[in-house]
Amino acid sequence: MTDIRVGVFGVSGKMGSTVVKAVEAAEGMTIVGGVDLGDPLEQVGRAQVAVDFTHPDAVMDNIRWCLDNDIHMVIGTTGFTPERLDQVRAWCAEKPEVGVLVASNFSIGAVLMMQFAAKAALFYPSVEIIELHHPNKAEAPSGTATTTAQRIAAARDEAGMDPVPDATVYDGGARGAVVDGIHVHGVRLQGLVAHQEVLLGDTGETLTIRHDSYDRVSFMPGVVASVRWVTEHPGLTEGIEPVLGI
């Protein structure tokens, strides 16, 4: 069996360079090219799968180019709105043999944290999210926090729960962003990588579900598994849960 040929968008970035090392260490795949902002995209033209950890301003053009060239994609770049996902889904429909996987987080622990939070939210009237990242992150709230809030809100809505109680009248921004009725607070601090807490509460008790990524290598098992998976699964896939079978 020949190796899966992998290209990397954002190859010189912290995530991109970590992806290169992970792919080189993995069995059955090899790096065949990489590009940074401004480089000719043809430098990844030999790839079967392109991994993208770039910037929200660049990722859509990268997806369009890869689909036009029959290259599968594994994308960890953030900033995907429902409208952007609908656009990618439409593009994939034009290329039914190509797979695109978009995930807000490739850490197995982070994926489990999101699942645990959605289950726990059914038992607590109050829930808020605190996400903590390095100061070079492009967006706030993070994609992981947004996804977590959406899943919590969907679970609560399906269960017919009331809105999260909150008597705040005067808010100078301290209450954070609101994603589908769930407050999300963002911290940007030198020394952090990627961390998230989901705080849940009821009278007399609280529950905290926390996940910490101390090094970018924590994302690599999910990335490598997704590279293997996407070649056999055309169309748009959201999240790595199908890859992990959970």
Residues identified as active-site? 133, 137
- Is 137 exposed, middle or buried (CB count within 10 Å of its CB: 0-12, 13-18, 19+)? middle
CA distance 162 to 130: 21
**Residue 222 contacts by C-beta under 8 Å, 6 or more apart in sequence?**
103, 105, 106, 107, 108, 111, 240, 243, 244
Task: For residue 227, give Cα distances in angstroms to 28, 115, 204, 211.
Answer: 10, 23, 46, 24
What is the residue whose two structure tokens read 């020949």? 2
- Is 81 exposed, middle or buried (CB count within 10 Å of its CB: 0-12, 13-18, 19+)? exposed
Q: Could you tell me the sign of the dihedral formed by the alpha carbons of 144, 135, 130, 149, in that order?
A: negative
Neighbours of 177 (CB within 10 A): 17
